Structure 1
Amino acid sequence: MSSPLSLRPAITAAAASYKFPLLRKKNTISSSSSSALPMASNPAVQIGGFLAKKNYEAPPWASHLSPLPKHTYSLGHLPTPIHKWNIPNLPENTELWIKRDDLSGMQLSGNKVRKLEFLLADAVAQDADCVITVGGIQSNHCRATAVAARYLNLDCYLILRTSKVLVDKDPGLTGNLLVERLVGAHVELVSKEEYAKIGSEALAELLKERLLSQGRKPYVIPVGGSNSLGTWGYIEAIREIGQQTKTSNDEIQFDDIVVACGSGGTIAGLALGSKLSNLKAKVHAFSVCDDPDYFYNYTQGLLDGLQAGVETRDIVNIQDAKGLGYAMNTSEELQFVKDIAATTGIVLDPVYSGKAAYTMLKDMAKNPTKWEGRKVLFIHTGGLLGLYDKVDQMASTMGKWQKMEIAETIPREDGTGKMF
């Protein structure tokens, strides 16, 4: 008799040849996709509007910007809630609130959703059959793009930056990688050294040319979805915040908005929207990679691309929060993430919002008069799957477990406690 182990090759071959006939549907976008499964038809009318394509009408205070988007897709669960964030030891009379963009979805979550609503509408309008984007090995943006693309019947190609020693190895299934690979994204690895020498734009262009030669119709989405079109995601978020504060019983008027900065598009939209609207909150960005001067210059390019006619340095304050470097954490930062979760129930990601909140509270402690008596809105940009990449580093901060003590005198009878 054959052992189970000896049957594995045959089982694997049978599974590979099975075509899942129940999932077969006519593909509405022509492509030479190499996906194992045929792509589902593009969503049309949906209950409640989710995944629906909509005509876009800009807020009146932003209608002079150019170019204006024509369409958007409904990809996020919006509006995301705003609530008080009860962190202890704030400066006197300072109120801290949090906008939960981490709750904009699950697979497709965080701040990237808002940008992708505009970027993927443009990709579909250009008759693309696949999208290309670039990021770190645990990029939240790449994971969100992979999910959103699959929702809209587009193949997704991800160029992921990793270490030189791992670039020739299977990247595994930790955190964001698990979701990306589950939804069928094509993963292309590049070393950090090659990335630094070639750059994200050139790498995306190389892949685009290869796909074009194969008869594909690729659409390139930049790192973090941060271009002038993606900026509309957070211009629109400012309109959402304004509507939420108007309908609040307390009629909150925020003095400050605080957010992590990793690619520039989120802060560009928030700062420009706050400047043009009635919100008029001062935007503070905490950069988790590169330095403030880089982001001032890059964000200026995004604003110029919208013909905004404003200077970045006049509408946003950018501070360095990268610490050891992008996606690298000190033990103090990880302990902070743990302490905030244990104190307030809010789980921050270690790469973006965790570093931003950590540096914000350090600044509040060092310069309390700067924040005293102000109402501050912190934007939680999501990225919780990134925590799985920090499990080993965070293990020492975890406690509160033990074997349950059950006295021998407690009656015991087989079958009493049913397990379902």
Structure 2
Amino acid sequence: MANFLTKQPYSPPSWATHLSPIPSHTFSLAHLPTPIHRWNLPGLPDGTELWIKRDDFTGMELSGNKVRKLEFILADAIDQQADTIITIGGVQSNHCRATAVASNYLNLDTHLILRTTKLLVEEDPGLVGNLLVERFVGANVHLISKEEFSSIGSEALTNTLKEKLEKEGRKPYVVPRGGSNALGTWGYIEAAREIEEQLKTRTDGLQFDDIVVACGSGGTIAGISLGSWLGTLKAKVHAFSVSNDPEYFYDVFQGILDGLQAGVNCRDIVNIHNGQGKGYAVSTPEELKFVKDVACATGVILDPLYSGKAAYGLINEMTKDPKNWEGKKILFIHTGGLLGLYDKVDQMGSLVGSWCRMDVQESVPRKDGVGKMF
């Protein structure tokens, strides 16, 4: 990839020039473009083609959709001469991990407010999954209980920390949860342009009828839906919500569109399905088995919080109403999050393949003096 870690002027797609505000600059942080390839999941309806866009390939430590948003958000932070980044999320937040790494790339300190249970809020959060990367790169971790988070809210919590750091002489910049605001949304408006360009270079005339993606905070789905609607893709977008009910996300999504002066009703450009299951970051045995079966069948490893729940929800929808999906070409956007699997190892243990000590008979020749048995 060219111009990695450089700040560049931004020119929007021709079909997005009426949106406002338009970012002035972007920081090149992700490995782009990410590939699109056929995804032969078992159990698809007759004639259905499933393709996958590998946004889990945007970079090892930055893997996923979050870095696309951060390319625009951190460029703004640099413009405002910030020296510290504050953001907030769950204790295994992919967004917080990506923010910590990207901030370090740009010599910015990071403060993460991480939501955990009341029982664990007073304890060392450990080094599992995303926490390992965050703490390895030196992020400052501030734990908050889920109850405090609900009663105070993310905006008040980040502003409280911002005021504290300002009194210490720092210049903090607050990144909203998931990077989901009007500025971050440009990351997936730009992704829609990227998909357009990838399809133009194909010789088979591939076009997509539907696009499927997980929805955790709203910015990704807002960007890809708006980009598909305004650009040449014209695919119907399906979002599987993993952290709240669909009505909540329709409201969030509409707020983002209004913030961009898009002049469109969100319900016209996206269909939001409930993919929570038992709740955010809570995986059922059925969901985890699905993630494991997909890996065994296709080599694609989904994360349990986002893409895993979205793919599980999609297959369930196809099973319930196969006629609605027959003959369609569908693009599934893998939004990354592999590190989240490490938080599920206790639940995954019974699902993974068997192992044994290799049985080597004594009749198998040994090298002289090596491994001699007495």
Q: Scaled by the length of structure 1, what TM-score is found?
A: 0.87
Residue-by-residue CA offset, 1:132-191 (whole Å, 9 max, x unaligned): 000000000000000000000100000000000110111000000000001010000000
Structural mapping, 1:8-407, within 5 Å: 48-407=2-361
In structure 1, how many angstroms separate the alpha carbons of the residues matched to 2:292 and 2:313?
15
Mind listing any 5+ residue stretches in structure 2 that lack a counterpart? none
Q: Distance in 1 between matches of 2:47 and 2:329?
A: 9
After superposition, the C-alpha distances for 1:233-256 in whole angstroms (9 at most, x for unaligned) are 000000000000110121210000
- Residue 302 of structure 1 aligns with an amino acid whose one-letter code is I
**Cα RMSD for the two superposed structures:** 1.0
Q: Specify the SS of the correspondent of 1:296.
A: helix
Matched residues in 2 for 1:87 and 1:60: separation?
A: 35
Q: In the TM superposition, what whole-angstrom CA distance separates every residue of 1:210-259 from its partner, at most 9, and x where no partner exists? A: 00110100000000000000000000000000000110121210000000
Letter in 1 for 2:257: L
Displacement of 1:198 in angstroms is 0.4
Distance 2:324 2:211 in 1: 14
The AA in structure 1 aligned to 2:202 is S
What is the aligned-residue identity percentage?
Answer: 68
| AA of the residue aligned to 1:143 | R
Provide, for residues 81-111 of structure 1, a one-character-per-residue CA deviation record: whole Å limited to 9, x for no partner. 0000001221111100000000010011100
In 1: Cα distance, 2:130 partner to 2:334 partner: 18
Partner of 1:25: none
Aligned residue type for 1:80: T
Query: What's the CA shift for 1:400?
Result: 2.9
**Helix, strand or coil for the counterpart of 2:100?**
helix
Report the CA distance between 1:416 and its aligned residue.
Answer: 5.1
Corresponding residue for residue 11 of structure 1: none
* Structure 1 stretches lacking a partner, 5+ long: 1-46
Describe the shift of the 1:184–1:249 C-alpha distance in structure 2 as closer, same or farther (beyond 3 A).
same
| 1:415 Cα deviation from its structure 2 partner | 5.8
How far off is 1:413 after superposition?
A: 3.4
User: What SS does structure 1 have at the residue aligned with 2:173?
Assistant: strand
- CA-CA distance at 1:271 after TM superposition: 0.6
Tell me the CA shift for residue 399 of structure 1: 2.1
Query: What SS does structure 2 have at the residue aligned with 1:48?
Result: coil
1:267 Cα offset (Å):
0.4
SS at match of 1:240: helix
* Higher RCO (C-alpha under 8 Å, 6+ residues apart): 2
Aligned residues: 371
- SS of the aligned residue for 1:65 comes to coil
Whole-angstrom CA distance in 1 between matches of 2:136 and 2:42: 40
Q: 1:414 to 1:325 in 2, by over 3 A?
A: farther
- For residues 253-287 of structure 1, the C-alpha deviation after alignment (integer angstroms, 9 at most, x for no partner) is 00000000000000000110000001100000000
* Aligned-partner SS, 1:378: strand
Which 4+ residue blocks in structure 1 deviate beyond 3 angstroms? 413-417
- Deviations along 1:309-342, one digit per CA (max 9) or x if unpaired, are 0011111000100011000011000000000000
Q: TM-score, normalised by structure 2?
A: 0.98
Question: In structure 2, how many angstroms separate the alpha carbons of the residues matched to 1:220 and 1:312?
Answer: 26
| 1:406 aligned partner, one-letter code | V
How far, CA to CA, are the matches of 1:327 and 1:414 in structure 2? 54
The superposition leaves residues 19-63 of structure 1 with CA deviations (integer Å, 9 ceiling, x where unpaired) of xxxxxxxxxxxxxxxxxxxxxxxxxxxx93100101000000001
Shift of 1:398: 1.2
User: Partner of 2:350: helix, strand, or coil?
Assistant: helix
Question: What SS class does the counterpart of residue 49 from structure 1 fall into?
Answer: coil
Deviation, structure 1 residue 410: 1.6
Q: Structure 2: how far apart are the matches of 1:415 and 1:281?
A: 67
Alpha-carbon distance, 1:414 to partner:
5.5
Task: Name the SS of the counterpart of 1:119 in structure 2.
Answer: helix
